[in-house]
Structure 1
């Protein structure tokens, strides 16, 4: 895996003062937002890009709420958010919008992906281990509800799973229920 690594830069934000560094893997450019000093067992959130949620504030998912929760937590405790460019569970923006259209017709998030020829979740996490190794991190406290993330990190010791509890709303209630009941998310 050939990965280009940027310099480290400061990122003052409404959540606190962080450092950022980018990792370019092929055409995908991932971002690490971190608060120093990094502990021996830092708090880590692996967050996949969600343009509609993270940027526009869509209420159909809980992505933005999870990202904000993580940024607030690492501001208090130090740690990092690894922001992966894997839009729509890695099916891309065009297909994500098509999946949204199918959800508007009554399909749940998994059925919509299947209708488009995709698995329920197409994401991969190999680059996460590379990024953590770059920072000299072998043990983490992982901010997640997703069992796939817990199972995917083979070379990293997950000392603790820290749940990310977000309040449901009328637009994402069915989505969250599907994640829990069909994808095994730990709410």
Structure 2
């Protein structure tokens, strides 16, 4: 599948100024990349198989792959840590002076907003996030990352310091020609409302999270 660069502009934010780039796949789905200190090296259609590469202004940029979360990113939901993760990553990149946020439009781990809210209703009944998806006949995680290579190629990035707790993201980039020289943990937004959610990510989905921090009892100490 190919992804086409559409347009870009500057984007002032509370964390500082970024360049915002919009990409679109052949089905019309849009994805966004925020960058700092990374020049555009190619504005043509880029294939996931033969994306062009070039050197960037910084040796190894700080990069966050962030899947869209309307409830967390926009509404400040306490059910997850997505909003705090996005804001912390944006600030970390500003502090670093160079990097990118790959904002992928795959709500609810790829199941869409409506199914995500249906899963929320099951979670309200006591089911964890993984079982809620499975009870709806949906995959535990339907996200894909095939757009990451072309987006990074657009700004000439071949090596990254990846901000993530998810080893699957590291493995995907490494398998597709992007060298992850460092995994940068991101532990923010922990609260009593999402402690079980984070524990599920740790215990059932393989996320690299501390064994002690994600309990309500610990948070209340």
Q: TM-score range by the shorter chain?
A: over 0.9
Matched with 2:200 is 178
- Which structure has the larger Rg over C-alpha atoms? 2
Matched with 2:212 is none
SS of residue paired to 1:34: strand
Which structure 2 segments of 5+ residues have no match? 39-56, 210-221
Per the normalisation by structure 2, the TM-score is: 0.82
Partner residue of 2:83 out of 40, 64, 80: 64
For residues 107 and 75 of structure 1, the distance between their equivalents in structure 2, rounded to whole angstroms, comes to: 38
Q: Is the Cα contact below 8 Å between 2:7 and 2:23 reproduced in 1?
A: no
- Where does 1:27-46 land on structure 2 (aligned, <5 Å)? 27-37=28-38, 38-46=57-65
Matched with 1:148 is 168
- Where does 1:149-164 land on structure 2 (aligned, <5 Å)? 149-153=169-173, 154=175, 155-164=177-186
- Where does 1:55-134 land on structure 2 (aligned, <5 Å)? 55-77=74-96, 78-134=98-154
SS of residue paired to 1:126: coil
For residues 130 and 208 of structure 2, the distance between their equivalents in structure 1, rounded to whole angstroms, comes to: 17
RMSD (Å), alpha carbons:
1.1
SS of residue paired to 1:166: coil
Compute the displacement of 1:2 (Å).
2.9
Q: Is the Cα contact below 8 Å between 1:40 and 1:137 reproduced in 2?
A: no
Compute the displacement of 1:167 (Å).
4.4
Q: Does 1:136 find its partner at 2:127?
A: no
